[in-house]
Structure 1
Amino acid sequence: MVDVLAAPQQAKSDTALRTLVLISIAHWVSHFHLLVLPMLFPFLKAQLGVGYIELGFALTVSAVVSGLTQAPMGYLADHIGARKVLLIGLAVGGFALIMLGVHLSYSWLIASAVLLGLANSVYHPADYAILAAHMDEARMGRAFSIHTFAGYAGGAVAPAIVAALVGVTGGLGALIVAGAVGPLVALVLIAGGLPDASAADREVDGVHPPKQNIVTPALIVLTAFFTLLSLSNAGIGNFGVVALMGGYGASFSSANIALTAFLGFSAVGVLAGGFLADRTRRHGQVAAACFAINAVIVFAIATLNLPSPLLTAAMAMAGFLGGVIAPSRDMLVRDAAPPGAAGRAFGIVSTGFNLGGIVSPLLFGWIMDQGAPHWVFGASVVFMVLTVLLALITERSPQGDSEEAEARVLQS
């Protein structure tokens, strides 16, 4: 009898593990692709004869497209199937980079940015819809943390991989090889049997849950929170290397090591944050504390000419603290989402990342063109302080909505 009962449980566990691994691989690709163009800024600037503000405009275009399509992709993920949406996104993102490698020009750069923005809009709605449908409730925070860790890891290794590809194949070859990763991973997901998540999965005895208002006050506050998170990190992630080289006398290699430390320890912090997310409801307070310390560290980087070892250590600590909050951030969204609307909820709040992505490339590109690289870090400090203040609001808003919902369930 014990074996009979254990077999379905083991099968469910194996399916959940396989799903988490496959989704995490896809998320790795999404963050890797996001940093391919910024890591090639020196090459693109020289080949295209443009300034950093023109290159930043390409990232803004990508963010605008992703922001406009994020919520619609959440709708598609909830209604036609998150698996289909995710596979198409991987293929489109890969094609965008391959296309630019074959036809290098500024107009093709903008076209590639449009397709990259469209591809990027699918990952959060599709990934989280599948995870919410297939992960164990008691381990949801850790599942989110592993998924986010994979994305951070993709970004962390992007500088080294792109630099290696440029050394072996040149800038154009780097674009083509990096792009080919997308469709290859899509084939891996198909071969691995990635499960789907759609409206049909939420039906009980053929009856679909009633429609609910998805745009709640809690999700609006979380969207603003995501926007500030994006602005806090985008300057360092996209312009950190050129800022350290231009304003601090850092070499290309030492600047890349510092950025890799920032991104790599962000990934480590995400794993630590997963355990916190499963053990506390004070997610907003965790975010506020981490970003308050981060603001102090980044302020030191902005104002002091740190030697290379200390710079790398400071960047690593800032990355770690930034990563710790990510699973708690995702749990706030998941708790605030109406039943059966995880794809749309994550699509809406992830628009905040895109709103930040629209502003940050132009802002930080303008800062670099004005010859003020120190303000890449200084502006990040300002956004971190604002993030701390809003984190304390998110602590109350989503949790309050959750408690009201629990009270209604008890009364009924």
Structure 2
Amino acid sequence: MFSIFLILVPLAASRRGIMPGMVSIASPNTASDKPLPQAHTPMPAEARRSLLAASVAHAVHDGMTDLIYVLLPLWQSQFGLSLAFTGAMRGLYAACMAGFQVPATRLARRWGRPALLVGGTVLVALAYLVAGLSGALPVVCGALLLGGLGASTQHPLASALVADAYAGHRVQARRALASYNFAGDLGKTAVPAGVGALLMWLSWQHSLIAVGLLGLGAAAGLAWLLRAPPLQGAAADGGPAQPAPLPQQALVPPPTWGFAALAATGVVDSGTRMGFLTFLPFVLSAKGAGAAGTGLALGLLFVGGALGKLLCAVLERHLGLLRTVWLTEGATALCIVGTLLLPWWGALALMPLLGLMLNGTSSVLYGCVPDLVPPEGRDRAFALYYTATIGAGAIAPSLFGWLGDQWGVAQAMQAVAAFVLLTLPLTWVVRQALAGQGRD
């Protein structure tokens, strides 16, 4: 409930047009810097309802997904797992979530986005309930697969839901997508921190049961918000608005080299982020942090990540894509090294800055997707982008876990810091593609 409450603040601000820092990529050299008349056009209630539903789904799904980072050290200790197997457990969830992104968009054309979003939320909630009620390792692994399957519906369908609801209002659409994106970080902040507090009094099994019940409540809320198909504007004759059809052209992958470079950049960025988050709890544990301390550190990290979504949008407008990404990724590498060298209290103090840099880049990259593909291909483009980036997040924990088993956790984290620097040349290619379209 706390995460849902926090979502209302950015949504209200977005509705009034008072959060320009949340607007996605816009070129400082184009007319988009000037206020457009449509920026203050009141949006239909159906559009705002779609944005609220998508934001709630994003917050709940991302919160329950990133909760796994708090649970990994507990599972490793209880079941006596290697670091590679522990990373593979995170990979089970991420791989299933990545692999069903594109199929989810196809199923939505048959059953509708509302049914898929609600059903996916129910599956994630049931996964946590099953894991909590059983507590056995094989059941936990199966629950991770089930949870990843349910989570695969959220990113492509909720993004497209918002984009369609605000179609024809470019400035409002960018603000709406930024609000939706920001809501995910609020969930990442609230759920892991809340469960970290619960672990002070409850076992991890009982904590997962509580999370599962929260997920079922969120699914009921989504069913109410999406009780009718999302509407797009009003009918030309003044009658009731009709459901916006899903364009069939979206089934065609976007064949642009700029998008391919963007996806590759997202793969490196996501792999770095997932690899770091997987082993951060082990680094903190070695410094003396318990489960509650790890939950607090992750909460601070995600608070910084949420602020990074806002700050990096402002930085990109003033510095451009290339300088912004180079700044954030370079600072990410330095902060990872700092986390290894500093004592517990120093690492804890570094978490907000590290989160800002670690997560801010993803917001800048995500905002480039609509600029690199034609409008009719955006639904498919979002699904492909998330498939690539989440797939990298599935592979990275196992890869860096193997390195941790061979060299040690500290050396694996140093490899993460070096890996993030691969984004620098890839970002230059993306910038050239944007410049060719007059967008950077």
TM-score bucket (shorter structure)? 0.7 to 0.9
Alignment partner, residue 262 of structure 2:
222
Instruction: Judge which range, 59-68 or 86-95, deviates more.
Output: 59-68
Q: CA deviation at 1:211?
A: 6.7
> Within 1, Cα distance between the matches of 2:130 and 2:413?
33
Paired positions, count: 388
Does residue 342 in structure 1 map to residue 378 in structure 2? yes
Instruction: Note closer, same or farther for the CA distance 1:396–1:280 as it changes in structure 2 (3 Å cut).
Output: farther
Alignment partner, residue 146 of structure 1:
179
Alignment partner, residue 99 of structure 2:
68
Deviations 1:64-110 (A, max 9, x none): 22222112223334564322221111011111111111222222122
Which amino acid is 2:100 matched to? T
SS in 1 for 2:352: helix
Alignment partner, residue 97 of structure 1:
128
> Within 2, Cα distance between the matches of 1:170 and 1:123?
29
SS in 2 for 1:201: coil
TM-score normalized by the length of structure 1 = 0.84
Which amino acid is 2:200 matched to? G
SS in 1 for 2:81: coil
Which amino acid is 2:374 matched to? P
The answer (yes or no) to whether the contact 1:81–1:197 under 8 Å persists in 2 is no
Instruction: Note closer, same or farther for the CA distance 1:290–1:174 as it changes in structure 2 (3 Å cut).
Output: same
The answer (yes or no) to whether the contact 1:262–1:318 under 8 Å persists in 2 is yes
> Within 2, Cα distance between the matches of 1:364 and 1:255?
20
> Within 2, Cα distance between the matches of 1:169 and 1:251?
14
Does residue 187 in structure 1 map to residue 220 in structure 2? yes
- Structure-to-structure mapping, 1:81-96, within 5 angstroms: 81-96=112-127
Which amino acid is 1:137 matched to? R
Q: CA deviation at 1:399?
A: 5.0
> Within 1, Cα distance between the matches of 2:133 and 2:331?
45
Residue from 237, 258, 282 that aligns with 2:297: 258
Query: Which structure features the higher share of helix residues?
Result: 1
Instruction: Note closer, same or farther for the CA distance 1:165–1:282 as it changes in structure 2 (3 Å cut).
Output: same
Q: CA deviation at 1:24?
A: 1.2
Instruction: Note closer, same or farther for the CA distance 1:296–1:323 as it changes in structure 2 (3 Å cut).
Output: same
Q: CA deviation at 1:293?
A: 2.1
Instruction: Note closer, same or farther for the CA distance 1:364–1:180 as it changes in structure 2 (3 Å cut).
Output: farther
Alignment partner, residue 409 of structure 1:
none
Aligned CA-pair RMSD: 3.0
Which amino acid is 1:269 matched to? G
Q: CA deviation at 1:233?
A: 0.9
Which amino acid is 2:272 matched to? S
Could you list the runs of 5+ residues in structure 1 that have no partner in the other structure?
1-5, 405-412
Q: CA deviation at 1:128?
A: 0.8
The answer (yes or no) to whether the contact 2:199–2:291 under 8 Å persists in 1 is no
> Within 1, Cα distance between the matches of 2:363 and 2:138?
38
TM-score normalized by the length of structure 2 = 0.79
Does residue 297 in structure 1 map to residue 304 in structure 2? no
> Within 1, Cα distance between the matches of 2:422 and 2:307?
24
Deviations 1:119-161 (A, max 9, x none): 2211110111011112342133332232222212222233322
Deviations 1:214-267 (A, max 9, x none): 242333222212211111111222220112222x45555544433322221111
Residue from 227, 230, 242 that aligns with 1:196: 230
Q: CA deviation at 1:63?
A: 2.2
Q: CA deviation at 1:196?
A: 3.0
The answer (yes or no) to whether the contact 2:272–2:417 under 8 Å persists in 1 is yes
> Within 1, Cα distance between the matches of 2:160 and 2:391?
22
Does residue 329 in structure 1 map to residue 359 in structure 2? no
Alignment partner, residue 355 of structure 2:
319
Alignment partner, residue 11 of structure 2:
none
Alignment partner, residue 426 of structure 2:
390
Residue from 201, 204, 220 that aligns with 1:168: 201
Which amino acid is 1:366 matched to? W
Instruction: Note closer, same or farther for the CA distance 1:374–1:349 as it changes in structure 2 (3 Å cut).
Output: same
Alignment partner, residue 379 of structure 1:
415
Could you list the runs of 5+ residues in structure 2 that have no partner in the other structure?
1-37, 233-241
The answer (yes or no) to whether the contact 2:249–2:376 under 8 Å persists in 1 is no
Instruction: Note closer, same or farther for the CA distance 1:320–1:249 as it changes in structure 2 (3 Å cut).
Output: same
Alignment partner, residue 131 of structure 1:
162
Which amino acid is 2:401 matched to? G
Deviations 1:374-398 (A, max 9, x none): 1343122112201222122222235
- Structure-to-structure mapping, 1:270-285, within 5 angstroms: 270-275=309-314, 279=317, 282-285=320-323
